[in-house]
Structure 1
Amino acid sequence: MSSVPHRIITLNHAAASLFLSRLLPIHISTVKGGGRRDICSVGSWSVMREMEMERVVKKAEALVEKVMRGNDASHDAAHVWRVRDLALSLAHEEGLSSHPHSMEIVELAALLHDIGDYKYLRDPSEEKIVENFLDQEGVEEDKKSKILKIIKGMGFKDEVTGKGNTEWFPEFGVVQDADRLDAIGAIGVARCFTFSGSRMMKLHDPAIPPRSDLSKEQYMKKVEQTAINHFHEKLLKLKDMMKTKAGQRRAEKRHKFMEEFVKEFYDEWNGLN
């Protein structure tokens, strides 16, 4: 049996992404003159898709390094790498690893989730950075739509009233849970005091009690607050807001650590220990 020559096609990044999204995962064949056929196996296209995804991920990582370079250590690139690793790990536990499309959404959403964060906006145009990036890299429309929905809806401010996001989907759940896991436990404690210090907040002031029944607008408003109040207003609530079973399991240990930390903090503040 004679070998079949391969046809080489050169595409720009955007066209390649669109081309692959249309062809995968079908078997592709073209009939040429004289009955000869060029056949491209699904495996070949899968490799090309993986290579394209690796390229986009590297570009996303570079964007994170560039945009978040001036942030304090509570919301820096290292935070993003941890969230990415957590999100991919949760996705495996939730059974998404058999769906490459879902894993790609999870990884890109995790990488880009803090770009344009309202707490660090220097210019209103920064809110469009992620959307522009996805367009420039030729990310297909359905994937882009899910990534943007995750990023725009995963913040605590959108659920601060206790009403959960009823439109969440598996990829949303694992990315949001990953971000929230990095906000609690030992890392969460460190991040809380790092952020508070960067904003010149007091550690604690008995005259400034934690706020309750906050609206989204009240939560986002810049008022005098303390580092320890953030545990009561947000961090100690996150365990019960996890959306995935895997996230719920991991949150238990981190939540317990924070409870013990807060108790010890008050005991030491009051001279009891």
Structure 2
Amino acid sequence: MTSEQKGLDIQITEDFVKQELARLGPDASHDWWHVYRVRNLAKSLARQEGLTGKSVHLVEVAALLHDVQDWKYSHSENASRASVQAFLEAQGVSREQKDQILNIIAGVGFKDELGSKGKGETSPELACVQDADRLDAVGAIGIARCFTYGGYFKRVLHDPAVAPRSGLTKQQYTDKSVQQTTINHFHEKLLKLKDMMKTGAGRRMAEHRHDVMEQFLDEFHREWDAEA
């Protein structure tokens, strides 16, 4: 039986992802447990959206591989595709399956939608993986990840004199020479994600998680201003 017929082995894929994460050394905001949560969320969304069989398997594999050699830590836009492509070819997957996985991974990122007027139709599988990744960036876990990431990159917690940027382009968002605050990251990205969900199930889950972040920010600013 070929890899295409039986699907890419999940355990082999997990082992590869863990190995890549160990080499890259990301902080806890983008570690194995982030990948684990995204995989589980993506599978749940896929089933709620009516996906079955090979589509659910494709969603699971792409979710597992979505952060391999993440550009924020590898400092390379091409490292992720190169690493995942080499892995898939070594596993003997068909060209069709390889292209499907690579296309999902390439389309997941928030940065790639900045300034976009619409990039055409989103496949159901991409929608599930993308929404799952974004759901893990919002709510209580999103808050925890945001401060973990900010601490790792030595971002200032909050500075009232530094206003959040609006209308960010991909180039501005990825420019690490501009040091933004952790609180501003909520306004520049996280609070926007609710309205960027592609699946009905993702939108329903995002509503609650969005409210959690808004309540947190309200309390944060009240305490910052000595009002609470």
Q: 1:167 offset after TM fit, Å?
A: 2.9
2:79 matches 1:115: no
What residue identity is the alignment partner of 1:76?
D
Q: Distance in 1 between matches of 2:186 and 2:218?
A: 11
Asked which structure has the greater CA Rg, the reply is 1
Instruction: Give TM-score, length-normalised by structure 2.
Output: 0.93
Change (3 A) 1:163 1:66: same
Question: What's 1:205 paired with?
Answer: 159
Q: 1:163 offset after TM fit, Å?
A: 3.5
What residue identity is the alignment partner of 2:173?
Y
Written as runs of structure 1 = structure 2, the 5 A alignment for 1:58-207 is: 58-69=11-22, 70-97=25-52, 100-121=53-74, 126-127=79-80, 128-161=82-115, 163-207=117-161
2:206 matches 1:220: no
Instruction: Give TM-score, length-normalised by structure 1.
Output: 0.78
Q: Distance in 2 between matches of 1:84 and 1:164?
A: 26
Which deviations, in whole Å up to 9, do the C-alpha atoms of 1:227-250 show, x marking residues without a partner? 000000000000000000010011
What residue identity is the alignment partner of 1:250?
M
Question: What's 1:243 paired with?
Answer: 198
Q: Distance in 2 between matches of 1:189 and 1:164?
A: 28
What residue identity is the alignment partner of 1:256?
D
2:40 matches 1:17: no
What residue identity is the alignment partner of 1:148?
L
Q: Any conservation in 1 of the 2:71–2:79 contact (CA below 8 Å)?
A: no
Which deviations, in whole Å up to 9, do the C-alpha atoms of 1:45-82 show, x marking residues without a partner? xxxx2xx54xx211111111111122100000000000
Question: What's 2:189 paired with?
Answer: 234
Question: What's 2:222 paired with?
Answer: 267
Q: Distance in 2 between matches of 1:244 and 1:164?
A: 16
Change (3 A) 1:91 1:71: same
What residue identity is the alignment partner of 2:220?
F
What residue identity is the alignment partner of 1:95?
G
2:122 is paired with a residue whose SS is: coil
Q: Any conservation in 1 of the 2:21–2:69 contact (CA below 8 Å)?
A: no
Q: Distance in 1 between matches of 2:140 and 2:101?
A: 28
2:180 is paired with a residue whose SS is: coil
C-alpha RMSD over aligned residues? 1.6
Change (3 A) 1:109 1:186: same
Q: 1:160 offset after TM fit, Å?
A: 2.0
1:96 is paired with a residue whose SS is: coil
Change (3 A) 1:125 1:209: closer
The gaps in structure 2 that reach 5 residues or longer are: none
